[in-house]
């Protein structure tokens, strides 16, 4: 394979996608089921047609690219997504779709008889409708109509209205005749970058559990209220924030992480003792018992903190999903493919969620990670190396060849 022409192939496709939703400061904004994501899918159609491929769109708006009119009894699916977070990077998701096109192009070029479709799933990021992986959840039947009906985007538009506008159906369905699903993605953390490794073969995908803690203190005058009389909601919140960090650190040997990502204080005024704080808490991991230990510790010690301070609180679950273990036979085959190609790799869990976790509900699923510069992602400075996309794609092709023997 001529890797120089592979780089220019990928580069030319990247350049065509890049202007869509690009921000002045260098990043991109392509929210799921929004105008920019539509343009990304239209561009994928244009590019695919130009390469002599055929594109189909399913009832959820997901795009599938195949070679010609070939009707496969069963087929492999490779790909990722084309949406982004606000002011996100140009590599997240796009790398996986382009890797798919590169593999499909090789299959066509070398006339290999491998049944493959490249997918671009819709709305993988939760930033558009507050719910991640909507396209892949619809096509794997893992989302309920009742959940869809509640979803609204940042403009207050409901998902159902958006679907009606575009002619999509909110009816979940289950993709048929799928042999397996392989997704290449940037790591979005800095494990590969710091190890100086090119490839990660993903073993499992961490699932987030999200909670809201409302701390109901007492709003008072900051000058006239002696310290011993106070019910300062922000001071209580500070203890909880430290507690979350401590619990996460304690369970970090199991790859569990815990974060307070949201803090809202009322009235947020210089001369007022804070009366109310809302915290948003995100706990993730690949080991359910470890996640439960963090959660149990959080509940117990939060209760202790609030009792000691005489402050009321409300602890609410926002969402909860379980970690996904990727298919062992796929992991072993991907490792064999990498070894055959003399490409070094590490096995690793994924801290971030991906479409692969939805696909794992209906078929064997595997993932390949490539490094992103300094581990920066969901950020305008996100950067990945196209050579690594090619390396990862070679592993996928080798895997597919072996599976098709």
Single residue of 61, 66, 93, 135 touching Zn ion by CB under 5 A? 93
**Considering the complex, what minimum distance in angstroms separates the CB of residue 393 from Zn ion?**
17
Is 137 in contact with 143 (CB distance < 8 Å)? yes
Token look-up 């909880």 returns: 240
List the structure tokens of 316: 């609410």
SS3 of residue 104 by DSSP:
helix
Which of 6, 92 has the CB closer to Zn ion?
Answer: 92
Query: Which segment (55-63, 84-92, 261-269, 385-393) binds Zn ion by CB under 5 A?
Result: 84-92
**Considering the complex, what minimum distance in angstroms separates the CB of residue 230 from Zn ion?**
44
Burial 92-106 (b: 16+ CB within 10 A, else e): bbbbbbbbbbbbbbb
**Considering the complex, what minimum distance in angstroms separates the CB of residue 78 from Zn ion?**
15
Does the protein bind Zn ion through residue 92 (CB under 5 A)? yes
Residue partners of 315: CB distance under 8 A and separation at least 6: 211, 212, 213, 299, 302
**Considering the complex, what minimum distance in angstroms separates the CB of residue 39 from Zn ion?**
18
Does the protein bind Zn ion through residue 355 (CB under 5 A)? no
Which of 66, 93 has the CB closer to Zn ion?
Answer: 93
Which of 107, 324 has the CB closer to Zn ion?
Answer: 324
Point out which residues pair with 277 in neighbouring strands.
215, 265
**Considering the complex, what minimum distance in angstroms separates the CB of residue 353 from Zn ion?**
8
Size of the site for Zn ion (CB under 5 A): 2
Alpha carbons 227 and 236: distance in angstroms, whole number: 14
Query: Which segment (86-94, 97-105, 303-311, 338-346) binds Zn ion by CB under 5 A?
Result: 86-94
Q: How many CB atoms lie within 10 A of CB 369?
A: 28
Alpha carbons 360 and 357: distance in angstroms, whole number: 5
**Considering the complex, what minimum distance in angstroms separates the CB of residue 52 from Zn ion?**
28
Per-residue x/- track, 203-242, Zn ion (CB under 5 A): ----------------------------------------
Does the protein bind Zn ion through residue 6 (CB under 5 A)? no
CA-to-CA separations, 275 to 110, 167, 280, 304, in angstroms, rounded: 68, 47, 17, 19
Alpha carbons 130 and 132: distance in angstroms, whole number: 7
Sites of contact with Zn ion (CB under 5 A): 92-93
């Amino acid at each position: 394979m001529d890797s120089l022409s592979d780089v220019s192939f990928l580069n030319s496709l990247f350049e065509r996608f890049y202007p869509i939703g690009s921000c002045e400061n260098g990043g991109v904004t392509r929210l799921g089921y929004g105008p920019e994501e539509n343009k990304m899918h239209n561009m994928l159609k244009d590019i695919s047609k130009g390469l002599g491929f055929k594109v189909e769109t399913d009832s959820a708006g997901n795009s599938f690219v195949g070679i010609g009119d070939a009707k496969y009894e069963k087929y492999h699916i490779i790909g990722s997504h084309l949406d982004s977070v606000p002011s996100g990077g140009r590599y997240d998701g796009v790398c996986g779709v382009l890797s798919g096109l590169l593999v499909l192009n090789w299959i066509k070029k070398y006339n290999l008889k491998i049944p493959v479709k490249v997918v671009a799933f819709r709305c993988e990021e939760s930033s558009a409708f507050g719910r991640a992986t909507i396209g892949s959840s619809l096509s794997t039947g893992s989302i309920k109509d009742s959940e869809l009906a509640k979803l609204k985007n940042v403009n207050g538009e409901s998902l159902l209205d958006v679907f009606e506008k575009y002619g999509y159906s909110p009816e979940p369905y289950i993709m048929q005749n799928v042999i397996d699903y392989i997704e290449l993605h940037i790591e979005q953390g800095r494990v590969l970058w710091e190890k100086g490794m090119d490839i990660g073969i993903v073993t499992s995908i961490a699932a987030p559990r999200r909670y809201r803690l409302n701390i109901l203190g007492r709003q008072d005058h900051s000058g006239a209220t002696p310290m011993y009389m106070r019910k300062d909601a922000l001071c209580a919140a500070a203890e909880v924030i430290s507690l979350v960090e401590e619990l996460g650190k304690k369970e970090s040997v199991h790859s569990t992480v815990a974060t307070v990502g949201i803090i809202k204080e009322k009235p947020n005024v210089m001369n007022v003792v804070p009366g109310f704080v809302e915290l948003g808490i995100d706990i993730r991991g690949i080991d359910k018992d470890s996640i439960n230990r963090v959660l149990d510790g959080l509940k117990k010690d939060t209760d202790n903190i609030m009792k000691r301070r005489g402050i009321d609180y409300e602890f609410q679950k926002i969402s909860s999903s379980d970690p996904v273990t990727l298919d062992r036979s796929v992991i072993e085959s991907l490792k064999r493919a990498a070894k055959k190609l003399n490409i070094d790799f590490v096995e690793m869990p994924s801290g971030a969620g991906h479409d692969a976790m939805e696909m794992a509900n209906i078929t064997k699923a595997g993932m390949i990670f490539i490094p992103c510069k300094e581990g920066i992602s969901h950020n305008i400075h996100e950067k990945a190396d196209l050579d690594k996309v090619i390396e990862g794609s070679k592993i996928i092709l080798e895997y597919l060849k072996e599976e098709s023997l």
